[in-house]
Amino acid sequence: MDAWHVIFLGLLEGLTEFIPVSSTGHVLLAGHFLGFKSPGKTFEVLIQLGAILAILTVYFGKLWQLLISLPSNAGSRRFVFGILLAFLPAAVIGALAHKFIKSVLFESPMLISIMLILGGIVLLVVDRMKLTSRYADVTELPPSLALKIGLCQCLAMVPGVSRSGATIVGALLMGVEKRAAAEFSFYLAMPTMAGAFAYDLYKNWSTLDPASISSIALGFVTAFIAGVIVVRYLLDYVSRHGYALFGWWRIVVGGASLGALLVMRGT
């Protein structure tokens, strides 16, 4: 693995993980066109640890306050329960369908490109809808609503859909304000990505060699740096401008990659 490939893919992961454009879709497509190969697509999953630590770093103060308030604050306990409830569907489906996801869906760049385009159209339509917001505080979402958002997250098992995109669109349609929808997606990312990292590491530990571990470490560092930047500024951006930019981004990237794949197939 060339170092510049690793750095580029790590930056791509960190920059796209928390915005609704599908970081996995971007990394898989970039790897496909660069000729980048990792055993069992393990690199693409494990570098997400950098993005996990990025959000833990930025949100450390909030997470600490949430932790120390758990024994005495019913609202904090309800919020944590809601996050864990939202995480449960993806955990179950991800474990059951892990082999199919990695061996079939991750190996389908045409499918990824199409899902990027379709997801971009959905994002543009939802962003222009006149939706009534009933929840502006992310900690006040009822557990039943959190579970529904978690079910939406399961759509992101298909690379190109976007974990954050599925949860944000689902939350918006269910009455969550734009900033709160993105913030809930941040919180839900922590157990979801940590679970995916741990399970994939468990399943593919035997395929890792020193070179692979070095590449994953470098990708992790670059993903962490890029992730910190995105997490710090994303909420303010979507509060002012919404999600239209990300919808167009998806359509452009998906359209360009689909065109390139069709040209390559025809030659």
Q: Which tens digits make up the pLDDT trace of 141-167? A: 999 999 999 999 999 999 999 999 999
> Which two tokens mark 46?
């494990």
Domain that holds residue 159: 3-266
DSSP H helical ranges for 35-155: 42-46, 48-58, 60-69, 74-96, 98-103, 109-128, 143-153
Checking if the pLDDT of 126 tops 70, the result is yes
**Separation CA 182–CA 244 (nearest Å):** 14
Residue 267: pLDDT band (50, 70, 90) is low
Beta-carbon neighbour count of residue 127 at 10 Å? 21
Residue 108: pLDDT above 90?
A: yes
CB 160 within 8 A of CB 121: no
* pLDDT given at position 125: 95
Residues 53 and 228 sit within 8 Å (Cβ to Cβ): no
C-alpha 77: how far from chain center: 25
**pLDDT at res. 216:** 81
Q: What is the pLDDT of residue 170?
A: 96
pLDDT of the residue at 200: 80
pTM, two decimals, is: 0.87
Q: Is residue 135 classed as helix, strand or coil in its secondary structure? A: strand
In whole angstroms, how far apart are CA 183 and each of 55, 76, 171, 202, 240? 11, 15, 11, 29, 15
Instruction: Give the whole-angstrom CA distance, residue 102 versus residue 97.
Output: 9
- Sequence-separated contacts (24+) of 181-184 with Cβ below 8 Å: 182/18, 182/234, 182/235, 182/238, 183/138, 183/235, 184/138, 184/141, 184/146, 184/149
pLDDT at 1: 61
Average pLDDT over every residue of 97-115: 91
Task: Please enumerate in sequence order all residues whose Cβ is within 8 A of that of 68, keeping only pairs 6 or more positions apart, or say none.
Answer: none
The Cα–Cα gap between 164 and 182 comes to 8
Number of structural domains (the chain) is: 1
Q: In this predicted structure, which of 44-58, 151-165, 233-247 has the lowest mean pLDDT? A: 44-58
Burial of 68 (0-12, 13-18, 19+ CB in 10 A): exposed
What is the model's pLDDT at position 40? 59
Q: How confident is the model at residue 140 (pLDDT cuts 50, 70, 90)?
A: very high
Intra-chain end-to-end CA distance of the chain, in Å? 27
Under the banding of pLDDT at 50, 70 and 90, the label for residue 204 is: confident
Q: Is the pLDDT of residue 266 over 90?
A: no
Bigger pLDDT: 17 or 40?
Answer: 17
